[in-house]
Structure formats: C-alpha cells, structure tokens
Amino acid sequence: MSKNLVQFIIEEQRHIPGASGNFTGLLSDVITACKIIAHDVHKGALIGVLGSAGSENIQGETQKKLDVITNEIFIRSTEWGGHLAAMASEEMEDIYPIPGQYPKGKYLLVFDPLDGSSNIDVNISVGTIFSILRAPEGIANPTATDFLQPGTKQVCAGYALYGPSTMLVLTTGNGVNGFTLDSDIGEFILTHPDMCIPPDTQEFAINTSNQRFWEEPVQRYVEECVQGKSSGGREKNFNMRWVASMVAEVHRILTRGGIFMYPKDTKDPAKAGKLRLMYEANPMSFIVEQAGGAASTGRERILDIQPSNLHQRVPVILGSKNEVERVISYHQGAYV
C-alpha cells in the first residue's frame, strides 16, 4: 500500500533523536488546512467564494474573498493544537499570537494562504505556501522580531498546489517529497518521492511586461534566452512560461527543470522586488535547494538573508542550478 503523508512524517521523525511528536502534530493540522482549502478552491463559484472581498491587505493589494477565507482556515486549523507559539500571514499586518484558551507550543508558522490569487477567478492553479520556524528558546509570547530568522533556520517548508490534482510538496531538510490528494479517501499519498531539479534547462519564466524596469544582468540573460542559438550567446533555444502563480511555477521546475525570476526592478523604488521573503521566497528557496536547485536574489543566497521586517520583499531567481548560477555571474559582471 502507498504511504500517506502523516505516515511518512511519523516515520521520518522516528530517526530524529528527542522528537516529541509536536512537529508531526503541527504538520497534520497544516495538512488539514490544505485539504479544506482544496475543497473550497475546487468548489469555486458553486459555494460563492470567487470574487473580491472589497478589502486591502497590508501590502495594499485588493483581497479576494478566498484570500480572507483561506487565511481564516489556516488559523482555525492550527491555533488549537498546542504546537504553535504564534503565526504570521501575508494577509495580516501583525503576527497572530495563540489565543489564551489554547496551550502554546514551540513553533512559529508562517504562511501565504492563497498564493497567485489573481488567478482564482479565471480557474487557473493557485497554491498555499508555508514555513515552520522554532520560537527562540525560552520565549513563550513571541513578537514579530522573533520571526525574523534567516531561511536557513526553517524546520520545514512546503506548498499545496490546487491544480488538476491537489498536491502537497514538502521538505524538512532531508530532500523533497510530493504527495497527491486522493479525495476519495481524504489522504495525501506519496506519489513523487525524492524530487530533483535537473541542473540544466531550456525553459525560463518571467513576467516580460516588466522588462523595461529590469537591471542589466537580467536584461542580458533573458535577451540571450530569446535569441537562443541564433545569437551565438547560447548553445540552445529556450521556451518560456508564465503562470503568475509561483506555486505552479516552482512545481513545474521541480518536475522538469527551469528558471523562475521575479527580479529586482525599478518599477517602485520602495520595493526590492514583488515577492515576500518570509511567505514566498524563503520556503520556496528551501524546497528548491533541497531538490538540488539554487535560489538567489542575483547578489546573495536567499536563505542567508537576515530579514528586517515581516513583510519584506526580495528579488527571486530560482531553479535549475546552472542557469541560476549564470544569472548570478552576470550580476557579478562575469561573462561565461
């Protein structure tokens, strides 16, 4: 019989000396949240969840009804279990401390409950991204500052992809495994063990409508991909994809390779990029590195960044190692 996700985690935790079962319990609550979200996303218009909520989040972005609903699902599914000290979400300005009626635990949960939500009304894949950190030793009531840990400190990172099938992909720092939701039995089943990103690729993903705002190294890289063999700059031709759902984009890269870029641009000088370090860049970089890929801003490894605030944005360049390294080398002024 194929392994389900909870069984997989319990067996993995057995190898960790001193593991108390708290992490397994927390993950099991996160899995429940993702199953409920999958249900709501798939029902869509039938249960009246599409469209705008008529509100704005901390980023000043218009919230979809499902942004609000999925944020609530994540909180309600995970706050009661006694595994968390606090959580933080892309959709909430401040951290969410665990209410007094529940026991507190040692973990911090960080999440983007519905990434790519601009796709929801047009029935294109969306996802949930999450990251688990440890609360600093001896801190029972964490503040936002306690969340500001570099990505290398993540205990676990994962995403759920609500596509033609629902998948959950995760790492605890020991490779990357993918599970598919069998909705008949309500379980995520291990279908993609030990996912690896091929080091070379002929596929790139970037929103080219921002081209005029990019820096020179990214301009050069994309221009060479577009020219392919004909420029003499590259030895191969490239294909391009842009789903505008980072989860779908990263999943494609984990499956068949590729490079994804939301680079630094000059569109809004107040923002270093579009994607958020804590909710998007760090968890995805942990997964990508664990699958043998690379993740960088172009200037530094994403997982090494010391966060300065909860909603910080960073440039993101991730995927097949040799292509990411090429883009980094262009940032260093090197010509390969």
Q: Which chain residues interact with ligand AHM by CB under 6 A?
A: 61, 90, 112, 115-118, 207, 244-246, 249, 262, 274
Element (H, E) at 32: helix 22-43
Q: How far is the CB of 45 from Mg ion (least distance, A)?
A: 22
Q: How far is the CB of 218 from ligand AHM (least distance, A)?
A: 15
Q: How far is the CB of 283 from Mg ion (least distance, A)?
A: 11
Dihedral over alpha carbons 66, 72, 78, 81 (to 10 degrees): -150
Q: How far is the CB of 19 from ligand AHM (least distance, A)?
A: 32
117 binds, among ligand AHM, Mg ion, none (CB under 5 to 8 A by kind): ligand AHM
Question: What is the rounded distance in angstroms from the CA atom of residue 55 to the CA atom of residue 68?
Answer: 9
Nearer to ligand AHM, 81 or 127 (CB): 127
Nearer to Mg ion, 146 or 280 (CB): 280
For residue 169, the cross-strand partners are 159, 178
Q: How far is the CB of 122 from ligand AHM (least distance, A)?
A: 12
Question: What is the rounded distance in angstroms from the CA atom of residue 242 to the CA atom of residue 210?
Answer: 13
214 binds, among ligand AHM, Mg ion, none (CB under 5 to 8 A by kind): none
DSSP strand E in the chain: where? 52-56, 62-64, 84-89, 96-97, 107-115, 126-134, 156-162, 166-171, 177-182, 187-192, 203-205, 239-240, 259-262, 275-276, 294-296, 313-314, 316-319
Dihedral over alpha carbons 163, 316, 258, 162 (to 10 degrees): -10
N- to C-terminal Cα separation, the chain: 49
For residue 179, the cross-strand partners are 168, 190
Residue ranges binding Mg ion (CB under 5 A)? 112, 115
Nearer to Mg ion, 28 or 282 (CB): 282
Strand 166-171 to strand 156-162: parallel, antiparallel, or no bridges (unpaired)?
Answer: antiparallel
The residue number whose beta carbon is nearest to ligand AHM equals 246
Question: What is the rounded distance in angstroms from the CA atom of residue 316 to the CA atom of residue 180?
Answer: 27
Nearer to Mg ion, 126 or 218 (CB): 126
Nearer to Mg ion, 126 or 305 (CB): 126
Tokens describing residue 60 = 């000043």
Nearer to ligand AHM, 29 or 249 (CB): 249
The residue number whose beta carbon is nearest to Mg ion equals 115
Q: How far is the CB of 10 from Mg ion (least distance, A)?
A: 30
Question: What is the rounded distance in angstroms from the CA atom of residue 201 to the CA atom of residue 239?
Answer: 10
Nearer to ligand AHM, 29 or 280 (CB): 280
Q: How far is the CB of 91 from ligand AHM (least distance, A)?
A: 9
